[in-house]
C-alpha cells in the first residue's frame, strides 16, 4: 500500500495559485485552503478501505475519515455539504475530487516522493493549473 501514509507534509511554495483563483469564482473555503497559512497534511490508513485525512493550520486541527474509491459526503463549517472522492492512481499518486454545493468540481492530484509532494490543482471553469509543493516534516 502507499508508502506516504503516516508521513506529514508541509506546504513550502505555490505556483499559479493566484492566477487560478482569479480565473474562477472559487469559494472562500478553497481560497482560504490554498492561500492561508501553510498547512501540514497527512493521510493515515485506518483499515483496508478507511483512511483519515488530517490538516493542521493556524493552530487548528481538522481531520475526517474517508473510503478510497467511494464518494464521501462532508459537511463544511457553514453547514453546506460537499462530495469528496479520493482515488489512489498508484502507490504514490492520490487524486481528490470535490464537488461543491453549486455543482462545480475541484481536483487536487498529489504526487508523493520520499522527500515531499507536488499537488496539482484544477478548478472547473479554468484552463489554468496551480501547483503546490510540500516537504516531509516527520
Domain boundaries, the chain: 8-133
Domain 8-133 part of CATH 2.40.128.20: yes
User: How far apart (Å, rounded) are the C-alpha atoms in residues 5 and 47?
Assistant: 12
Please, what is the end-to-end C-alpha distance for the chain in angstroms? 19
Distance CA 74, CA 61 (A): 16
Instruction: Report the DSSP beta bridge partners of residue 99.
Output: 83, 105
Q: Render each residue's pLDDT in the chain as its tens digit; 138 residues.
A: 467 888 999 999 999 888 888 887 776 777 777 777 788 999 999 988 899 999 898 888 889 899 999 999 988 778 889 999 999 999 899 999 999 888 889 999 999 999 999 999 998 888 989 999 999 997
Q: Can you give the pTM of this predicted structure?
A: 0.86
Distance CA 124, CA 121 (A): 10
Amino acid at each position: 500500500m502507499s508508502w506516504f501514509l503516516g508521513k506529514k507534509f508541509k506546504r513550502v511554495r505555490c505556483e499559479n495559485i493566484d492566477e487560478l483563483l482569479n480565473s474562477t469564482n472559487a469559494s472562500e473555503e478553497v481560497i482560504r485552503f490554498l492561500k492561508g497559512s501553510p498547512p501540514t497534511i497527512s493521510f493515515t490508513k485506518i483499515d483496508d478501505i478507511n483512511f483519515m485525512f488530517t490538516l493542521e493550520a493556524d493552530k487548528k486541527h481538522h481531520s475526517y475519515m474517508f473510503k478510497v474509491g467511494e464518494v464521501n459526503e462532508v459537511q463544511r463549517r457553514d453547514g453546506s455539504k460537499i462530495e469528496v472522492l479520493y482515488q489512489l492512481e498508484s502507490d504514490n499518486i492520490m487524486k481528490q475530487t470535490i464537488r461543491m454545493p453549486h455543482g462545480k468540481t475541484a481536483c487536487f492530484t498529489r504526487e508523493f516522493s520520499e522527500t515531499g509532494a507536488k499537488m496539482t490543482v484544477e478548478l472547473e471553469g479554468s484552463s489554468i493549473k496551480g501547483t503546490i509543493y510540500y516537504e516531509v516534516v516527520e
